[in-house]
Structure 1
Amino acid sequence: MTQDSVIYWEEGGQACSAIWHSENGIVPHKKVVIGDDLLTADDAYHLACEGTAILWRGDFQNARQLLQALVRRVDKPSKKSKRAGKRVDKAGDTSAQKTAVDIFNQHRLIQSQRARILGMLLIECNSEHTVSLRRAPDVSLACREAYGVVSEPYAVSLRELLGVISAHEWRKNGVPVLADSEGEPVFVHPHYGVFSPIRGEYIELVCNTPLPKQMEQESTAFDIGAGTGVLSIILAMRDVQHIVATELDERALVCAKENIGRLHLESQIEVVKANLFPPGKASLIVCNPPWLPARPSSTLEHAVYDPSSQMLKGFLSGLKDHLALHGEGWLILSDLAEYLGLRTRDELLSWIENAGLVVLGRVDTKPKHPKSDEESDLLHFARAAEITSLWRLGSQ
């Protein structure tokens, strides 16, 4: 335990401390005060805005209500949000009051400030991952799944703790991703910190796109950056005989292995730790990289943000060397980055060409997620126009 990973406060005339835990990479708060059921939402909001964290000692359910009150104060409608309805072209129409990149950066700044304020309400857990507050739920299993075994008490933001609880429910109940041959739903159980396959359009693309003819000769596939293992599972359900799923993230490796084991697909799918490609070649190589070329602000954002398109470029540059003769690479990618001015279509096509690849075809679909209909969202102009594509790539 170092000074940089500890928060300090006074309580009952005594100097106190606890290990600070933040999956979002928030540094330990310098100023911490005790809060309880007598604290008003307005006072809590003012403390949070000025950078003072509140370690909660009151009723747990009251803390949840206080957090909801803080959300309402942070999310007051702003006149600036009306600019979200302005259309910006893919190339970035500078005739608009702000360019697409400006709006994207503004959106990220707002989200960062929002997270900072809402993360100021803290909860202390003991070394058994239990919360000693009135009406506190049993969070021990959820926290153990997310954080592992700990030896000392620690403090965490209530907002993160509620996310851990929610992730536990996803992991317990699972997410339906497709139906088996008898019409019964097949579930994938995402772990905390592993991207949940709730956007079904890219799953449908992999379910419905015809497999390469090379599969008739050699039924092998690689799943690059497997996450929960959902794409490997889909390929196995489509009777691909041997699939190698690769991952670097430890949580994702455990998650993929567990999901594959639940479905008794170990004989078809091998999960290995690798940076992008495993050794050898395959008739089909699939990859669903992060869609936005921007720097993630936390470990939890790595599934969404890919700095300088590093994973995308790495997949494209290494694909040719790992494709079997007449094999195909399937790149699943949204064009949201193009509408936000973060990447152009010409750039993507040049990376494909420079990697010695050709586009064999492309299958497009419209996203169905709720954000595409939220006109108050600053990024609505891009989300409403977004297309998700499966690019079929082959060697030149």
Structure 2
Amino acid sequence: MDRPRRPTTSPFEFPPGAAFTWHSESDEPAPTRLSPVDDGLSADTALKRVRRGEFLRYTGDFHNAKQLLGALGRRLERPWQARTPLEAFRAERRARQQEHATLSRIVVALDRGYRLDLARAPDVAEACRQVWGEPTEDFTVVPLKQLLGMLGAAEWRRKGLAVPGLKGLIHPHYGVYLPTRTDYVELLAAVPDVNGQRVFDVGTGTGVLSFLLLQQGAAFVQATDCDSRAVACARENAERLGLSQRFQVTEGDLFPEGKADLVVCNPPWIPEPPKNRVDRAVFDEDSQFLRRFLEGLPAALNPGGEGLLILSDLAVLLGLRPPGWLEEQFERCGLTVVWKESTPARHSKAKDKADPLHAARSREITTLYGLVPTTRRE
């Protein structure tokens, strides 16, 4: 570990038993006891203590705290060599869950101004206010790993992210799916003329699909998302891009009220239970969201309207869905595929042979389906 330096300001006092606000993305209950630890704690000892159920409040040096997290992660059991993609997926999820359960017990305390009580700590106040708003207690306690994620997200939000085909930058918020996988975004270039169309964007996230369609000539987009953070993110991005007059977003589970000429959706693609709030952008237990989207799509379309579904086939490659399942859902919901466009995965994990799921991810295909009610084809 680095040799700790003297803090530039004295750390605040965090009295034993003090009331605090607890923040956890996985809705874990607040710890009833916090054990203060410092730079003298070894990774082996920390691992034994957290496995006994302790929450360790780090009070030493910020850089040493980060190194402790890394050392703990390296001591965790890695997924074994699996015989099938499904076994590999199950093992990888268990490993990630164990990692979260272990590392989230290394926590830090913040004061009323969101000042981090560690030597050499960066200023975290802006990142905290962006996610939580103003504090309601004198102290806030958060897993260090989560706080590091918030700092990284604040930097993405400050700098912005370039997206192929979009004029301007997307500024993602913490907890909102980051559109770094551009294959699904680039598929929108295949969409026929959208000039003058009214669009619904279901599960908008950062709003990136809405903004691409608006820049392609759509008249208006009404977007929804079930997460309040995504709603705030999409609204801010629309203002930054000068599109707020033609874009509206509301918090909702599925479709907005009314009907649209075009309905676009890039749903979660893994039919498994999410483990935390962030997971909901990727995991859709028993395909409930996708099923309900397809069931409600015909009623959400104006006469002559069309639905656009963007979906990866990774669930099939992993053995989580049988081949042909999606086509069966189209038929069940009275939908016909009138055209489709596909692209192989180009994200980094598809090329990483060390990734436990490389066998499936290297063959992943993402497809944009153009859907209309079957009655129109008869």
Identify whether the pair has TM-score above 0.5, normalized to the shorter chain: yes
**1:76-225 to 2 correspondences below 5 Å:** 80=80, 82-83=81-82, 97=83, 99-152=84-137, 153-179=139-165, 186-206=168-188, 208-211=189-192, 215=194, 219-225=197-203
Of residues 341-350 and 298-307 in structure 1, the stretch that sits farther from structure 2 once superposed is: 341-350
Q: Could you say if the C-alpha distance between residues 384 and 150 of structure 1 is closer, same or farther in structure 2, counting changes exceeding 3 Å? A: same
User: CA shift at 1:131, angstroms?
Assistant: 1.0
Q: How many residue pairs are counted as aligned between the two chains? A: 361
Does structure 1 conserve the Cα–Cα contact (< 8 Å) formed by 2:221 and 2:248? Answer: yes
User: CA shift at 1:100, angstroms?
Assistant: 3.8
Q: Which residue of 1 aligns with 2:24?
A: 22
Q: Which residue of 2 aligns with 1:255?
A: 233
Q: Which residue of 1 aligns with 2:8?
A: none
Structure 1 CA distance, aligned partners of 2:34 and 2:349?
A: 35
Alignment-mate amino acid for residue 157 of structure 1: P
RMSD, matched Cα: 2.1
Does structure 2 conserve the Cα–Cα contact (< 8 Å) formed by 1:179 and 1:186? Answer: no
> Which 5+ residue runs of structure 1 have no aligned equivalent?
1-10, 84-96
Q: Could you say if the C-alpha distance between residues 331 and 15 of structure 1 is closer, same or farther in structure 2, counting changes exceeding 3 Å? A: closer
Of residues 169-178 and 155-164 in structure 1, the stretch that sits farther from structure 2 once superposed is: 169-178
Q: Could you say if the C-alpha distance between residues 20 and 273 of structure 1 is closer, same or farther in structure 2, counting changes exceeding 3 Å? A: closer
User: CA shift at 1:387, angstroms?
Assistant: 0.6
State the secondary structure of the residue aligned to 2:339: strand
Q: Could you say if the C-alpha distance between residues 19 and 280 of structure 1 is closer, same or farther in structure 2, counting changes exceeding 3 Å? A: closer
Does structure 1 conserve the Cα–Cα contact (< 8 Å) formed by 2:108 and 2:117? Answer: no
Structure 2 CA distance, aligned partners of 1:273 and 1:57?
A: 39
Q: Which residue of 1 aligns with 2:279?
A: 301
Structure 1 CA distance, aligned partners of 2:351 and 2:287?
A: 27
State the secondary structure of the residue aligned to 1:302: helix
- The partner residue of 1:274 within 246, 252, 255 is 252
Structure 2 CA distance, aligned partners of 1:23 and 1:224?
A: 23
Of residues 255-264 and 345-354 in structure 1, the stretch that sits farther from structure 2 once superposed is: 345-354
Alignment-mate amino acid for residue 72 of structure 1: R
User: CA shift at 1:232, angstroms?
Assistant: 0.4
Does structure 2 conserve the Cα–Cα contact (< 8 Å) formed by 1:224 and 1:245? Answer: yes
User: CA shift at 1:14, angstroms?
Assistant: 5.2
Structure 1 CA distance, aligned partners of 2:305 and 2:19?
A: 58
- The partner residue of 1:340 within 318, 321, 328 is 318
Q: Deviations over 1:269-327 (max 9, x none)?
A: 22233331122222211000000111111111110111111111111111111222332
- The partner residue of 1:39 within 30, 38, 41 is 41
Structure 1 CA distance, aligned partners of 2:245 and 2:55?
A: 51
User: CA shift at 1:30, angstroms?
Assistant: 5.5
Q: Could you say if the C-alpha distance between residues 243 and 13 of structure 1 is closer, same or farther in structure 2, counting changes exceeding 3 Å? A: closer
User: CA shift at 1:15, angstroms?
Assistant: 4.7
Structure 2 CA distance, aligned partners of 1:176 and 1:300?
A: 22
1:383 aligns with 2:361: yes
Structure with greater contact order relative to length (CA < 8 Å, sep ≥ 6): 1
Alignment-mate amino acid for residue 21 of structure 1: H
Structure 1 CA distance, aligned partners of 2:14 and 2:199?
A: 62
Q: Could you say if the C-alpha distance between residues 351 and 179 of structure 1 is closer, same or farther in structure 2, counting changes exceeding 3 Å? A: closer
> Which 5+ residue runs of structure 2 have no aligned equivalent?
1-12
Does structure 2 conserve the Cα–Cα contact (< 8 Å) formed by 1:178 and 1:187? Answer: no
1:367 aligns with 2:307: no
Q: Could you say if the C-alpha distance between residues 52 and 273 of structure 1 is closer, same or farther in structure 2, counting changes exceeding 3 Å? A: closer
Q: Which residue of 2 aligns with 1:52?
A: 54
Q: Provide the identity percentage.
A: 40
**1:316-355 to 2 correspondences below 5 Å:** 316-355=294-333
Alignment-mate amino acid for residue 264 of structure 2: V
Does structure 1 conserve the Cα–Cα contact (< 8 Å) formed by 2:350 and 2:362? Answer: yes
Structure 2 CA distance, aligned partners of 1:254 and 1:292?
A: 25
